[in-house]
């Protein structure tokens, strides 16, 4: 360590002909490839005594590498004490049962009062900065008005391990993500898979749109009907990929937008008029899209232990379900 708090790491490249960033991942596995790329571009890497700023540059076997890691930059968001609904916590990660209405990280219009602000106060200096100064520790996110389970990394190694699992989408590991959603109508078939690429809408930048198979990002949602009512259905969705607004867009694309979703279900406002007064009141009280992240499973990034968490439906969704059941004339399920 040098006097200004920087940490120097040294190594010798064993395999030649590989990209510089990949060689550094092998030499310094405690740092993510994304962070190493940032350090390379910022001039913190020397190869054989000379600055190396191109992550894609090929390196020869036997090359000498010096990596200088500056101390973590302080997160811009300020610490704000808040009661966090913590489901699980250890030295590496923390699992939160996020309430609806809580923004995950600061953004224009939401500079404070976010989950990140509360996490900074709760975790202090241990919080990972890998996600960027605006998103320290954030591995994945939930929309502001989506409730449910979210995992946050508390150090660089945990962030790297969790990010890799989410990028792999559970193909080779135990990653699981399941959601409960209330949608208009009854999906047919009652269980199936929606495969439709997604991209930012060209016409409304705040919206995501389904695009052709040769553009956008690959997105897959598996769904199954759990319970049906007169005008709506409770479905459970499992994500094979995790794109922005994926469940909301996929189900709307199939003609079954989420109840309360003003962004993707605006054309279905007239459906609410067909509900009973009690169901309409419960939908109004919901005041958000009816989506809840009820299951989250992953491999612990340090121990390898499979962790699996479940979250009960929040009271606003259960109240709406009870009203929909009564509206459908099935009080026995209340």
Cite the active site residues.
143
Q: Is residue 11 exposed (0-12), middle (13-18) or buried (19+ Cβ within 10 Å)?
A: middle
Continuous segment of H or E residues that includes residue 27: helix 20-27
Q: Please state whether the peptide bond connecting residue 189 to the residue before it is cis, i.e. omega within 30 degrees of 0.
A: yes
* CB-based contact 206:304 (threshold 8 Å): no
Task: Pull the structure tokens for residue 282.
Answer: 């419960």
- Name residue, tokens 């590496």: 92
Query: 13 Cβ partners below 8 Å, 6+ apart?
Result: 23, 27, 59, 60, 61, 62, 63, 65
DSSP 8-state symbol, 30 = T
Cα dihedral 6/9/10/14 (nearest 10): -140
What is the rounded radius of gyration, in angstroms, for the C-alpha atoms of the chain? 23
Task: Pull the structure tokens for residue 134.
Answer: 């605006």
Bridge partners (DSSP) listed for residue 10: 66
* CB-based contact 150:142 (threshold 8 Å): yes
DSSP line for 94-138 = EEEEEPTT--SS-BTTBSSSSHHHHHHHHHGGGS--TT-TTSTTB
């Amino acid at each position: 360590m040098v006097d200004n708090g920087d940490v120097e790491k040294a190594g010798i490249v064993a395999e030649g002909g590989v990209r510089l960033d990949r060689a550094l991942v092998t030499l310094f596995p405690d740092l993510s490839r994304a962070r190493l790329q940032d350090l390379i571009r910022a001039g913190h890497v020397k190869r054989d005594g000379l600055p190396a700023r191109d992550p894609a540059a090929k390196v020869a076997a036997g090359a000498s590498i010096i990596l200088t890691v500056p101390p973590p930059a302080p997160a811009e968001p300020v610490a704000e004490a808040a009661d966090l609904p913590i489901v699980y916590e250890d030295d590496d990660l923390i699992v939160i049962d996020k309430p609806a209405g809580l923004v995950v990280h600061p953004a224009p219009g939401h500079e404070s009062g976010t989950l990140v602000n509360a996490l900074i106060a709760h975790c202090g200096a241990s919080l990972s900065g890998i996600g960027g100064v605006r998103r320290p520790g954030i591995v994945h996110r939930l929309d502001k008005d989506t409730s449910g389970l979210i995992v946050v990394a508390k150090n660089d190694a945990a962030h790297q391990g969790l990010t890799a699992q989410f990028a792999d989408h559970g193909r080779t590991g135990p990653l699981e993500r399941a959601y409960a959603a209330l949608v208009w109508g009854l999906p047919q078939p009652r269980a199936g898979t929606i495969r439709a690429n997604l991209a930012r809408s060209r016409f409304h930048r705040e919206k995501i749109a389904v695009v052709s198979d040769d553009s956008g990002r690959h997105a897959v949602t598996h769904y199954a009907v759990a319970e049906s009512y007169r005008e709506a259905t409770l479905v459970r969705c499992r994500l094979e990929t995790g794109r922005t607004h994926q469940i909301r867009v996929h189900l709307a694309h199939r003609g079954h937008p989420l109840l309360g979703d003003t962004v993707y279900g605006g054309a279905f406002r007239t459906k609410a008029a067909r509900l009973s007064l009690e169901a309409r009141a419960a939908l109004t009280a919901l005041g958000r899209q009816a989506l809840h992240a009820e299951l989250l499973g992953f491999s612990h990034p340090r121990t390898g232990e499979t962790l699996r968490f479940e979250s009960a439906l929040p009271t606003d969704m259960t109240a709406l379900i009870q009203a929909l059941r009564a509206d459908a004339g099935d009080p026995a399920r209340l």
